[in-house]
Amino acid sequence: MRPLTREEPGARQGPSRYDLSGDELAALLEGEPSYRLEQVRRALAAGLSPEEITVLPKCLRQRLAETPAMRPAFVVATESPTERGATVKWLLKATSDRARVEVVLMRYPARVTACVSSQAGCAMACSFCATGQMGFCRQLSSGEILEQVVRAARAARDKGWGRLSNVVFMGMGEPMANYGSVVSAVHRAHDDLSLAARAFTISTVGIVPGIRRLAAEPLQVNLAVSLHAANDDLRSSIVPINRRYPLFRLMAACLEYAERTRRRIFFEWALIAGTNDRGEDAAELARLLAPLGGLAHVNLIPLNPTPGFLARGSDRETVRAFRDRLASLGLNATIRDTRGRSVGGACGQLAGGAQLAGGAQLAGAAQLAASPKGA
């Protein structure tokens, strides 16, 4: 990012005001007392707009509000709370182009979690995922990602839910395919919002180079791997990137990550009726994860419906039986609480408000049904 110059006061250097570096923000405050910089930085971290920074003189607030570089990257297109009010989904529209992303905020008894997007759309084309069905639009900058976190943190406070405690990169996009922006946003949220490193979970469908890079990061964030199948034939039909990074390569990277960080890896498993929810599937999964020992934890997710995937999710009894079978095989497993399904905000349902229809988007279901272990 090139620096601001005197000839370009307030020139926009990134999509979001959170893309501004400290030097660039200082340049916008040229001529002001030095303490103004810290006032503005704290206000931005709290989610305030320039007009709301009342510790600044009115004339400075107005000048910053009129500065292009201080504008937000997104405006709220829609806000969708669930009936019980413990989950809210925002559809955000970019102010610079037509990109749209979705953010979900969830309140639990002991924590408040934000699910944020790392890309507008996704190129991974996972068959059961609405984001994969809509295709890829563009990368998000670190500032655009951080802006989502800040928005969620402020909303949690405004709703009386308390402090944002967790951030999961499980929204739209593949975080490891936008590695630099994601990791930069994590570092900045850690520093500016005082969120602990362990509050962050970065999810991936299995981008092996990204897992290896994450293992070397100084911040000890959590890693989640969207696994969903324990053999290459089935996994390649559900998660196409498996053809590039098959299971033997993925598990080697996971083992390297675990040995280097000594941190648990969370394996996501969306249960699809008659496809990956049987006793033999549990046994196959246990064999695959055995080298990780106690550093493997399986999150079981009843499949959420999406327009482009015709398969059914497993029923509650089957989900519980699968969990119990994993436990008998020595694997730690948790049935994940499904939040936001009624507003299209649950796992795999984020689609940026796109209308998902058409034969091409049904190919994943057809391919799955024709796979060796298909229903």
Indicate whether 8 belongs to any domain: no
Assess whether 179 and 218 both reside in one domain. yes
**Average pLDDT value for residue range 281-297:** 98
Q: Which one from 122, 129, 137, 347 is the annotated catalytic residue? A: 347
The answer to whether the CB of 11 falls within 8 A of the CB of 69 is yes
Mean of pLDDT values over 203-230? 96
Judge whether 238 lies within some domain.
yes
Active site residue 126: no
Average pLDDT of the chain, as a whole number: 86
Decide if 6 is inside a domain. Answer: no
**Is residue 63 predicted with pLDDT exceeding 90?**
yes
Does 87 share its domain with 64?
no
Note whether residue 2 is domain-resident. no
Instruction: Give the 3-state secondary structure of the chain.
Output: CCCCCCCCCCCCCCCCHHHCCHHHHHHHCCCCCCHHHHHHHHHHHCCCCHHHCCCCCHHHHHHHHCCHHHCCCEEEEEEEECCCCCEEEEEEEECCCCCEEEEEEEECCCCEEEECCCEEECCCCCCCCHHHHHCEEEECCHHHHHHHHHHHHHHHHHCCCCCCCEEEECCCCCHHHHHHHHHHHHHHHHHHCCCCHHHEEEEECCCHHHHHHHHCCCCCCEEEEECCCCCHHHHHHHCHHHHCCCHHHHHHHHHHHHHHHCCCEEEEEEEECCCCCCHHHHHHHHHHHHHHHHHEEEEEEECCCECCECCCECCHHHHHHHHHHHHHCCCEEEECCCCCHHHCCCCCCCCCCCCCCCHHHHHHHHHHHHCCCCC
Distance CA 178, CA 101 (A): 15
The pLDDT, as a whole number, for residue 302 is: 84
| Residue 5 belongs to a domain | no
Number of domains in the chain: 2
What is the pTM assigned to this prediction?
0.85
Same domain, 235 and 305: yes
Asked if 26 and 167 sit in the same domain, the reply is no
Residue 307: per-residue pLDDT: 61
Q: Are 24 and 143 in a shared domain?
A: no
State the pLDDT at residue 308.
Answer: 59
Name 298's Cβ contacts closer than 8 Å, sequence gap at least 6: 266, 267, 269, 285, 289, 326, 331, 332, 333, 334
Q: Are 34 and 10 in contact (CB under 8 A)?
A: no
Q: Does one domain contain both 47 and 147?
A: no
Q: What pLDDT was estimated at residue 1?
A: 31
Do 276 and 130 sit in the same domain of this protein? yes
Catalytic residue among 24, 102, 144, 147: 102
224 pLDDT higher than 90: yes
Residue 10 lies in a domain: no
Is 342 domain-assigned?
yes
Do both 331 and 183 map to the same domain? yes
Quick one: 66 and 78 in the same domain? no
Same structural domain, 78 and 66: no
Residue 355, domain CATH: 3.20.20.70
- Same domain? For 51 and 84 the reply is no
What is the per-residue pLDDT across 239-251, written as a single tens digit (0 to 9) for each? 999 999 999 999 9
Instruction: Indicate the pLDDT class of residue 158, thresholds 50, 70 and 90.
Output: very high
Quick count: other Cβ atoms within 10 Å of Cβ 360? 10
90 domain residue, yes or no: yes
Q: Which amino acid is at 299?
A: N
Residues 87 and 224 in one domain: yes
Domain housing 28: 17-70
Of 55, 70, 85, which residue sits at a domain end? 70
